[in-house]
A and B are shown apart, each in its own frame.
Chain A
Amino acid sequence: MCDQTFLAIVFGPCDKCSKEKPLRAIYIKSEQLNYCSLCVEMMATEGLHENETLASLKSEAESLKGRLEEERAKLHDVELHQVAERVEALGQFVMKTRRTLKGHGNKVLCMDWCKDKRRIVSSSQDGKVIVWDSFTTNKEHAVTMPCTWVMACAYAPSGCAIACGGLDNKCSVYPLTFDKNENMAAKKKSVAMHTNYLSACSFTNSDMQILTASGDGTCALWDVESGQLLQSFHGHGADVLCLDLAPSETGNTFVSGGCDKKAMVWDMRSGQCIQSFETHESDINSVRYYPSGDAFASGSDDATCRLYDLRADREVAIYSKESIIFGASSVDFSLSGRLLFGGYNDYTINVWDVLKGSRVSILFGHENRVSTLRVSPDGTAFCSGSWDHTLRIWA
């Protein structure tokens, strides 16, 4: 099934001492070097200041963490919902299923809208990736991946290609063609390579670069044309499950969430983690930026969704209810950021008032857990995909 193997140099001349020894690959400033295990140890202890032992570093880490908490707490003068008391309450919402997209043979795992606000790409457990016209519910393209559990799919900004991946540990780009004689699978291009499953992928502002998140604990930025790794992001302590790019006006950052309960904000150019938030009590399944780019929401297996403000550097709201005990698998904001839609594992979709922190609506319809949810680019509707094999468009 896997048609590519990693070229790993396991025995040979060490890049540092030139001795012939068993080698380990290490990364210095994103460059891969092969050092023998002795040189790796020497490197790790190099530059160690006097008295800098493990214990002293650990205690410094603890004191820094304490200082971080103090700094954050100093600015915590009021709660978001208190400030939002003077905002008008929202009226009743009537949102219904307007379209049901049927055609997948198994659980729908991921979906994405095209910028034309009409087309949708969705992927499922049976390895099929389908492009739909949401107005007419027609299927425009379908491709079968060589692996099952296609957990990630994305539409290119131009609308001319889609990217998808999953248990094959790769992200592949398929150009979309309307030529009936052409086989879509023939033009497939493998772009990303991870050492574990692909959990999320997204094109950046152009068709030329893709950002991926993987079960191997890293995120990576790739050039589509050459398949080259442009930048990698290390820092999560466990599988990374989701990512979202900042809205283009606010710059080159993205947020990722993982099984280590942390949400981390990264600088795409340097590969550096700028901020990290660890208040969830379980895996973070979904992260989404607020439309202004100053905040982001996350949905987690601990049955809560939370809002983190980037400039205040802390969590500012929790969206939870005692009656909600199932995890949130997917979240997205409405166009103005006032509403937060959350798809949950109890088959429902909860609609939250972002500012006041209260639930405004609960939508029923799916017959199994909601696995993915995205609002359309112009905000007229949102689409949810579920383990019941269907996608629903709500408006």
Chain B
Amino acid sequence: MENPIVREISLKMTSKTTSTTNNIAQARRTVQQLRIEASIERIKVSKASADLMCYCEEHARKDPLLMGIPASENPFKDKKTCIIL
């Protein structure tokens, strides 16, 4: 036989704390997530930018849209018509 007092207390807990415990759980997750994010290792923007530029320069020659490739090599560009001499 369930103790009616115990049941009363548990009902109160449910109704009073529903919104706040959900918020607490959410707030704890936010704090945990922020802790993880704050602890990652970062480098300076100057170094990161230099690396991005380096990558661009290294691969620029192989970039067809950047360099433009002759029509004969690009399957999408129309070939020049042939002239019969």
Contact = CB atoms under 8 A, between A and B. Distances in A.
A87 B42 CA distance: 25
Contact of B31 (A61, A84, A312, A314): A61
B24 A334 contact: no
B63 interface: yes
A276 interface: yes
Nearest to B27: A57
Contacts of A48: 24
24 contacts: A38-B10, A80-B49, A90-B66, A98-B76, A118-B75, A235-B33, A274-B36, A276-B37, A294-B55, A309-B45, A309-B49, A309-B52, A311-B42, A311-B43, A311-B51, A336-B58, A336-B60, A337-B55, A338-B66, A355-B52, A355-B56, A378-B64, A380-B74, A381-B64
A289 to B, nearest CB: 12
B45 A316 contact: yes
Interface string A47-62: 0100001100110110
Contact of A41 (B17, B30, B51): B17
A294 B25 CA distance: 33
A22 to B, nearest CB: 11
Contacts of A99: 76
A153 to B, nearest CB: 21
Interface in B45-85: 45-53, 55-60, 62-66, 69, 74-78
B76 A380 contact: yes
Interface string A301-343: 0000000010111101000000000000000001111110000
B57 to A, nearest CB: 8
Nearest to A135: B75
A380 B75 contact: yes
A225 interface: no
Contact of B25 (A44, A72, A235): A44
A274 B52 contact: no
Nearest to A234: B29
B40 interface: yes
Interface of A: 37-38, 41, 44-45, 48, 53-54, 57-58, 60-61, 64-65, 67-68, 71-72, 75-80, 83-84, 87, 90, 95, 98-99, 118, 134-135, 235, 272-276, 290-292, 294-295, 309, 311-314, 316, 334-339, 354-355, 375, 378-382, 393, 395
Closest 5 interchain pairs by CB?
A336-B59, A336-B63, A57-B27, A64-B34, A312-B48
Contacts of A68: 34, 37-38
B64 A71 contact: no
B62 to A, nearest CB: 6
A395 B38 contact: no
Given A48-B24, A291-B59, A379 B30 contact: no
B45 A67 contact: no
Nearest to B28: A57
Contacts of B69: 380
A137 to B, nearest CB: 11
Interface-centre pick from B14, B57, B60 (highest chain A CB count, 10 A) = B60
Given A54-B23, A336-B60, A75 B49 contact: no
Contact of A338 (B17, B40, B60): B60
Interface string B1-36: 000000000100110011011111101101101111
Given A57-B31, A382-B65, A37 B14 contact: yes
B65 A75 contact: no
Contacts of A272: 36
A83 B54 CA distance: 11
Given A54-B23, A338-B60, A339-B66, A61 B30 contact: yes
B55 A78 contact: no
